[in-house]
Every structure is written in structure tokens, then in C-alpha cells.
Structure 1
Amino acid sequence: MELTGRCNLSCSYCYRRNDPSFDMFDTSLLLDQLSEINPYFINISGGEPLLFDDLFNLAKELKKNCKKLLLTTNGLMIRNFPKQNYKIFNNIQMSLDGDKTLHERIRGRDTYEQIIEAAKYLNGITHVSFLCTISSENCSHIGEFARKTQESGVLPKIGRMCGFGHSSFSPISDPYSWMLILEKTAQHGIINDDPLNFWFDEKKKSSTNPNKIVGGCTAGIAGVAISPELDVYPCVKLRIPAGNLKEQSLKDIWLNSPLFASLRDWHNLKGHCPSCEYVSICRGCRADAWARTGDYLAPDPLCWLNGRGEE
């Protein structure tokens, strides 16, 4: 849930630009609609959510409607607020994109140490994780990233850079390079929700089931994204609107969106995907397929089982 598009940084690869925050009407509307469905978890993000004036009061209200509440932040404003405010969150995720030089090339001067200090500030208050968005520029820093997270006592996570944005950084383009990156993250014990990561999880790899409802990419299947304008998307990176909360209820969009229906049936996928024995636990990254081809049902461009995603 993107509370605001406003941010105190202008990172090289970000897909967001400055947008208005929720106003009080929007916030009330959102709370009413969330109470109808009681999601398992809510992830508050932005922009930079700590720029939202009433964040902590809103967090208390949101926590009444979910079991787990997460906060995704760049971390620079963490120490501006009392530690106790953060107890409401089950996890706080901050971005760390490599060593000091590379991180500050992406996020700006003096940001690296502020992230490290923010993690120390939250020690003993709640769980903290560092997220590294993998690009061709920082893929060789995975070992260093794992070491730094271990030193800081936080959970390491990685995410895929999709093929869009205003970045001078390049997403990984070769499927076999991506396979080696995922293998390395598995060796370092880094948390990785990439759909293709099943290849390095024997338990998951052996759990294929053609009748499986949820598995792999969760876009529009096990989660949605809500923008500051109350547009509802399958995920934060797959920005095709399924509806708007000012016009439809979240429950109605969730149950009746044709976009979501198309994502939930893996038979709609193109290329090799429908015939792949692992489709029920993978489905491929729909956002990256859309970003690179314009078709959200196209093969995952980084799938090594599907070559380069060509039919």
C-alpha cells in the first residue's frame, strides 16, 4: 500500500515519481474497505511513508485489520521518531544496494551510514530487513551484502530490477546469469521471493500440483497494490489498473476484476509456461514480462528453462 508518492530521495532505478498523499477522505475510505476483507498482512510503502503526516496513527488502525503490518522505507528518517513508535510493525524493510560507494551512487551522498545507524536504532524494537535490488551493476556485491546484513543483525533480502524506470542502471538480461545469481543468494541464505527461486528449494520444487491456486508470482493472486490515487494494481511493479477504490470496493475488484482472473489461471500464460512442469509453483514474474514486452502474460524474460522467453 503506497501511502504517498513523495520521497526525500531520487534513486536511479525507482519507478515512482512525486504524487499526492492520501487525504483524510481517502484514508477513511481505505480503512472501511480493508475491514471488509481483513488481509493477512499489509505492507506500507511509498514514496517514503515516513513523510506521511499521520503514519503511526494510521498504522494503529491498519493493524486492527490485519495480522502482520510491514513498513518499507529508505530508512533516512527512521531516527526522527521515537523508537517505541515502531513496535506496531512486525517488520521494517530498508534498502541497501551494495557497498558504500555503489549504494550512494544510487541513493545519494551520506545515505549508507544512515541506513546502518537506522538498523542499530531499531535493534530490539522490531524485526529489520535490508533489501538489495539486483542489477548488472551490483550483482557481484551479493557476498558483501550478505556479510553486512549479518554484521548488522538484520535479515537479508533481494529483489529483481524489472526492465523499466528512469534508471542508468541495467536490469539483468541473461537468464543464465540470473540463475547463477539466485544460486548464490541461496548459498548465502538470502531471502528471495523471485518466482524462479523454486529451482534452489528442493521442497518447493517437489510440490508441483496442476490444481495449485497460489504458487510463485503472487500478482493479483495472493496480493494487490494500492497507489496514492487509490488505483488497485496486481503488484507494485505491474501497474495495470484493475480498478479504483473511489469507484469500486476492494472486495469487488478482488473478486471480479478480469485482469486478476486472467492472472489466476496459469493456462493463460504464453510461450513455454503452460506446458512447464513447474508452472504451478512459478508462473514467472508477470511485472518483468510486462515491463520488457508490454504483455503481462508473456514468458518470464529471465527464465532459463524457457530460453529467453521466446515462443
Structure 2
Amino acid sequence: MNWISYCDRPEVVVWEMTRACRLACTHCRAEAQPKRDPLELDTNEARTLIDHVAAFSPRFFIFSGGDPSRRPDLVELVAHAASRGLRVALSPSATPDMLALDFEALAEAGLACLSFSLDGATEETHNTFRGVKRAWEWTMQGIAATRKAGIPFQINTTITAQNYHEFDAMTTLVESLKPSVWSIFMVVPTGRADAHQLPEPKQAEALLNKLCELSRRVPFAIKTTEAPQYRRIQLQQAERAGLERPHVGGTNDGRGFVFISHRGEVCPSGFLPVSAGNVRRLPLLQIYRESPLFRSLRNPTALKGKCGRCDYRMLCGGSRARAFALRGDPLAEEPLCTYQPKPQE
């Protein structure tokens, strides 16, 4: 899809089913709470939302949280979404609630993928990151249960200044686990995360270059979240090596991507917590297409600073969430990018 297509409909839709979660992650964008919010979308509202999403056929529909395992209607809603032709992914937290799920029932319901977070190469690092002593153990048990049920799984890794140095060891660990996808997320200082968790721009650039090199030798797919400059690096490395130009995607916050909160608020992403409307009052697609916020995020000429001058702005565009978190402006330049645009003629 391209910029024009993204103006019509999103490619990825994420629904935050709940903010309830038993973990206490240091970077949690949702600032998850122990108990469920009584104002969450209920089952009937969720089914209506799913029907609306199915009508425009995005590439992925992701159930997220908090911890979706806390919703007793989870399997029912997965089945409903799959029956409507949606490719459904689930992103639970590794908790006893997740381990209590019926993984076989999720597979039968039509779940296409299940993701697990691993944020350290060791048990100690990961548990510290997640704020609970047995988080590593529960994650490994969840991966085993997912394999047994025959559900493809994805590993998500958040990169911060505190775990950046473990990237090589994390690579070895992920290779041993054999996921279908490894997704690298560059932390955004929102929710519980703060600016002290950000790696240096040069560190981020070096890591993404390593990731690109890794992508050419591993059997699983590699993607990034809130690191759209990875697409630039993919093109640069291919050009330097004389390789065929790779096909790279172009979604970004509000551009091919939309997030619905547990209360129905529609945001460009979970890491850019600015609501453009609520699905309880307006159809999701109307909010996505017509709200001034979303329209500005899909306008490459609206970008400011070096992002607005960048020759890769159509493909990358920088993390709009990180710009908002650090600059207070979702159209400001990307704080973690080292690239200097070519002079405009």
C-alpha cells in the first residue's frame, strides 16, 4: 500500500481490550492497572467494532492490552473476528492469566498469531523489565503452549538504554526460539516510560543496521515498531551492496495504522495517546479518514524540521509518537534519527 491507499483505510488495527494486567512493566504505555475498567467496551460493543473493521478488510486486527487474557469473552471475540474474515493476532502479557487460556480453543477459533515480549537476554534482565519475578518463566511456558497448539508466534523486544547492550545476546536467544516474526520496538517515553530510557540516536542507528544485516540470514521475518527509519536503512544497505531494492512497508502512527483504546478512543497509535474521536459515537473509518489529526499525519508536507525536508519522508516519516512525547508536537522531527537529508534543489 502507498500514501494514497492509507488515506482510505488503515492496514493495521489494534484494539486495546483492557488495561488490566498483573505485570508492572517499566515502559508500559498503558500504565496498566490491576483491575478492569467498568467503562471498557463490552462484548456487544466489541462485536459491533469487529463488524465495522471487517467491512474494510485490514491486513491485521490485533487484540492488545493491558492483558487481553483478563477478558472472559476473549475466545468468543477471536472466533467472531476470524469468522468475519479478519486475520486476528493476540498480544497478551505473560501472566498466570495467559497460561490459564485454552490455547487449543484459540487455535480452533481461528487465531492467526500470538505474540510474546522478551526484553532481555537473561531471566534477570527480563524480569526486572517486566516488574515481576516469574515473567520469564511464564513467557517460556506460553511459547511452549502456543507451539503445542500449532499457533504461529511472534517475539516483541523493546529496546531501551538499559538493555541496548544485550542486543547480540538477544539475537542468539530469539534465533533459538524460532519465531515467525521478531519485532523490535524503540521505546517511546509515554505512560510509565521516560526519556531516560531512550537509547542515543547513534545507538539506535547502529542497532537498526545490525537488525537489517540479520534479516538477510535468519529464517524469520523482522519488523520494527516506532522505528520507521529502519526502512531507510534497508534501502541504503541494499544500494551499497548492489542488491535488489527490497519491498518495505510504509505504515506509521495514523498512516495505515489505528489504535482503539479500551474505552473506544481512537488514536494514531497506542504510543501517541491523542484521541481523534470515539467508536461509541462515530464509525472508526470515519474518524480515521476525516479527523484533522489523522489527516495531518498522512500529509508528508506537514512534517516539520528535517523530517519535512527528508528524501525518505514518504517511506519513513519518523516516529510521530516519539516526536509528540519529546517535542509536544506529533509533526515535529524524529528525535532518534541521525540521518541528514540531502539538500533540496
Return the TM-score normalized by structure 1. 0.89
**Does residue 57 of the first structure (1) align with residue 76 of the second (2)?**
yes
Correspondent of 1:138 among 160, 163, 181: 163
Q: Residue 204 of structure 1: CA displacement? A: 9.3
SS in 1 for 2:156: strand
The alpha-carbon deviation at position 250 of structure 1 amounts to: 1.1
Distance 1:290 1:6 in 2: 25
1:26-77 Cα offsets, whole Å, 9 max, x none, are: 2243134224323221010011001101100111111233441111112323
Residue 121 of structure 1 is matched in structure 2 by 145
Which aligned pairs between 1:27-46 and structure 2 lie closer than 5 A? 27-46=46-65
In 2 relative to 1, CA 149–132 (structure 1 residues): closer, same or farther, beyond 3 Å?
same
CA deviations 1:164-213 (Å, max 9, x no partner) are 2324783325221210111122233372322010233138977xxxxxxx
One-letter amino acid of the structure 1 residue matched with residue 49 of structure 2:
L
1:258 and 2:292 are equivalent in the alignment = yes
CA distance in 1, matches of 2:260, 2:85: 16
The secondary structure found in structure 2 opposite 1:44 is strand
Please say if residues 51 and 84 of structure 2, whose CA atoms lie closer than 8 Å, have aligned partners that are also in contact. Answer: no
Q: Distance in 1 between matches of 2:154 and 2:100?
A: 19
**Do the aligned partners of residues 217 and 291 (structure 1) sit closer, same or farther apart at CA in structure 2, a change above 3 Å counting?**
farther
Whole-angstrom distance in 2 between the partners of 1:272 and 1:241? 26
Q: Distance in 1 between matches of 2:305 and 2:177?
A: 43
Match of 2:3 in 1: none
Task: Please list the CA deviations of residues 244-284 of structure 1 after superposition, one character each: whole Å capped at 9, or x if unmatched.
Answer: 01111112112211111101111000011222111111100
Task: Work out whether residues 40 and 66 of structure 1, in 8 Å CA contact, stay in contact via their aligned partners in 2.
Answer: no
Deviation at 1:306, TM superposition (A): 4.4
Structure 2 equivalent of residue 94 of structure 1? 116
147, 150, 160: which one aligns with 2:175: 150
Partner of 2:222: 191
Task: Kindly state the Cα deviation for residue 162 of structure 1 after the two structures are TM-superposed.
Answer: 0.7
**Per-residue deviation at 1:94?**
0.8
Native 8 Å contact 1:12 1:168 kept in 2: no
Greater Cα offset, 152-161 or 185-194? 185-194
SS of 1:60 mapped into structure 2: helix
Say which SS state the counterpart of residue 189 (structure 2) adopts: coil
With 187-196 and 168-177 compared, the bigger mean Cα shift is at: 168-177
The aligned residue for residue 73 of structure 1 is 92
Corresponding residue number in structure 1 for 2:320: 286
Deviations 1:119-163 (A, max 9, x none): 112115111111110000101111111211222222322101012
Counterpart contact for 1:68–1:90, Cα < 8 Å: yes
Query: Quick one: which of 69, 92, 112 aligns to 2:136?
Result: 112
Amino acid corresponding to residue 296 of structure 1 in structure 2? P
Q: Which sections of structure 1, spanning at least 5 residues, go unmatched?
A: 207-213
Partners of 2:29 and 2:270 within 8 A in 1: no
Q: Is the 8 A contact 1:137 1:169 kept in 2?
A: no
> What residue in structure 1 maps to residue 266 of structure 2?
232
Percent of aligned positions that are identical: 26
Distance 1:239 1:191 in 2: 26
Task: Find the partner of 2:208 among 153, 167, 182.
Answer: 182
1:82 deviation in Å? 2.8
Give the number of aligned pairs. Answer: 300
SS at match of 2:269: coil
Task: Please give the secondary structure, in 1, of the residue aligned with 2:271.
Answer: coil
SS in 2 for 1:281: coil
Compute the displacement of 1:79 (Å). 2.9
1:163 paired residue number: 189
TM-score by length of 2: 0.81
Question: How much does 1:106 deviate?
Answer: 1.6
RMSD of the TM alignment (CA)?
2.2
Kindly provide the amino acid, as one letter, of the partner of residue 160 in structure 2. S
Tell me the equivalent position of 1:24. Answer: 43
Distance 1:45 1:280, change over 3 A: same
Quote the residue 1:48 is aligned against. 67
Gaps of 5+ in 2: 1-14, 216-220, 240-247
Runs of 4+ residues over 4 Å off in structure 1: 203-206
Q: Is the 8 A contact 2:21 2:93 kept in 1?
A: no
CA contact (8 A) 2:66 2:93 kept: no
**1:269 has 2:303 as partner:** yes
